[in-house]
């Protein structure tokens, strides 16, 4: 007959426990597999994100690309046509507007006219020798009673004083220049009169004018009296000097400060040249 197996309750519980354990293991295996598969997937995706570029661009390549892009931009800007710079054009009022027309003409005279911007200049030229001859002719014409007087003698008075001052060391350079001759003429034209009776008296008055001219226009601080003073005007030298200063102090200052006044005196002196001697020079 068949064999009858008897199972105790403890054995049965142990068997049930083993079966349960096997069942739990069989149920947990799929979850472990899924967990491992998910970890691999995450790790592989992370590797793809973190993996660097095997051939990264170097700094030189970046600089070359930047310079090339800048060059292309500049070339494109140069090819573009440049807009012309707007220049304001003054508007001229129409003739129908009678109120604005005179005002526009006045502005044109003040701004556009060259004569309004700078005064007209008169250019005059003369050498020192020519002006000295003009001065001598003036003195001879003014003192016409002195028949034996000539312009060369007057010029000699002037040159002798200038040479004496140079030789004695009172001045380093000659005083006779066109501007200084004009200054001497200004003094002589006011001081010398036709009432002078002798050449010596005329020479004394003329050399007094020279002393004032040297003192005012000369390069030195002071000059000696002896070359300028003669026996004929020894007693009246200072009286004549003070009288000339009192009368002509304003004109002497104006001659140096006002170019128009200087030009006027210059032209006046140049017109004193004797016409007959001028023709002989030609």
Q: Is residue 117 part of a domain?
A: no
Of 113 and 37, which is predicted with more confidence? 37
State residue 85's pLDDT score.
Answer: 46
Mean pLDDT of 212-217: 95
Q: What tens digit of pLDDT does each residue of 163-175 get? A: 999 999 999 999 9
The answer on pLDDT for 83 being more than 50 is yes
Of 43 and 158, which is predicted with more confidence? 158
Mean pLDDT of 268-272: 93
The count of structural domains within the chain is 1
Range of the domain at 208: 128-275
Q: Is residue 176 part of a domain?
A: yes
State residue 220's pLDDT score.
Answer: 84
State residue 277's pLDDT score.
Answer: 54
Q: What tens digit of pLDDT does each residue of 97-138 get? A: 444 444 434 334 443 444 444 455 555 678 999 999 999 999
State residue 215's pLDDT score.
Answer: 94
pLDDT band for position 219 (cuts 50, 70, 90): confident
CB 159 within 8 A of CB 206: no
CATH number at residue 143: 1.10.472.10
Q: Is residue 76 part of a domain?
A: no
Give the mean pLDDT of the chain: 74
Q: Is residue 210 part of a domain?
A: yes
Q: Is residue 161 part of a domain?
A: yes
The answer on pLDDT for 265 being more than 80 is yes
Q: Is residue 151 part of a domain?
A: yes
Q: Is residue 81 part of a domain?
A: no
pLDDT band for position 46 (cuts 50, 70, 90): low
State residue 273's pLDDT score.
Answer: 83
pLDDT band for position 203 (cuts 50, 70, 90): very high
The answer on pLDDT for 232 being more than 90 is no
State residue 196's pLDDT score.
Answer: 87
CB 155 within 8 A of CB 136: yes
Of 195 and 119, which is predicted with more confidence? 195
State residue 65's pLDDT score.
Answer: 78
Q: Is residue 80 part of a domain?
A: no
CB 231 within 8 A of CB 151: no
| Tokens describing residue 146 | 């002195």
Q: What percentage of the chain exceeds 70 in pLDDT?
A: 56
Helix, strand or coil, per DSSP, at residue 40: helix
**The three-state (H, E, C) secondary structure of 129-187, written as one string:** HHHHHHHHHHHHHHCCCCCCCCHHHHHHHHHHHHHHHHHCCCCCCCCCCHHHHHHHHHH
End-to-end CA distance of the chain: 184
The answer on pLDDT for 57 being more than 70 is no
The answer on pLDDT for 216 being more than 90 is yes
State residue 66's pLDDT score.
Answer: 75
pLDDT band for position 62 (cuts 50, 70, 90): low
With CA atoms as reference, report the closest residue to 148 among 200, 95, 207. 200
Q: What percentage of the chain exceeds 90 in pLDDT?
A: 43
């Amino acid at each position: 007959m068949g064999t009858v197996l008897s199972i105790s309750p403890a054995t049965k519980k142990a068997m049930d426990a083993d079966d349960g354990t096997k069942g739990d293991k069989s149920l947990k295996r799929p979850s472990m597999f899924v967990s491992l598969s998910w970890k691999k997937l995450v790790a592989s995706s992370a590797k793809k994100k973190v993996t660097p570029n095997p051939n990264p661009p170097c700094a030189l390549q970046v600089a070359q690309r930047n310079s090339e892009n800048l060059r292309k931009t500049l070339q494109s800007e140069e090819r573009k046509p440049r807009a012309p710079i707007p220049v304001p054009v003054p508007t001229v009022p129409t003739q129908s507007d009678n109120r604005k027309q005179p005002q526009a003409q006045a502005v044109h005279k003040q701004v556009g006219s060259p004569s309004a911007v700078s005064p007209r200049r008169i250019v005059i030229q003369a050498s020192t020798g020519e002006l000295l001859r003009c001065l001598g002719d003036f003195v001879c014409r003014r003192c016409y009673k002195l028949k034996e007087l000539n312009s060369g003698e007057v010029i000699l008075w002037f040159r002798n004083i200038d040479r004496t001052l140079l030789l004695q060391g009172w001045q380093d350079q000659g005083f006779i220049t066109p501007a200084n001759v004009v200054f001497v003429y200004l003094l002589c034209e006011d001081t010398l009169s036709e009432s002078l009776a002798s050449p010596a008296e005329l020479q004394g008055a003329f050399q007094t004018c020279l002393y004032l001219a040297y003192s005012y226009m000369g390069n030195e601080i002071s000059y000696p009296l002896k070359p300028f003073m003669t026996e004929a005007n020894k007693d009246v030298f200072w009286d004549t000097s003070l009288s000339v200063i009192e009368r002509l102090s304003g004109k002497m200052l104006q001659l140096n400060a006002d170019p128009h006044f200087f030009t006027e005196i210059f032209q006046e002196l140049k017109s004193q040249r004797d016409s007959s001697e001028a023709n002989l020079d030609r």
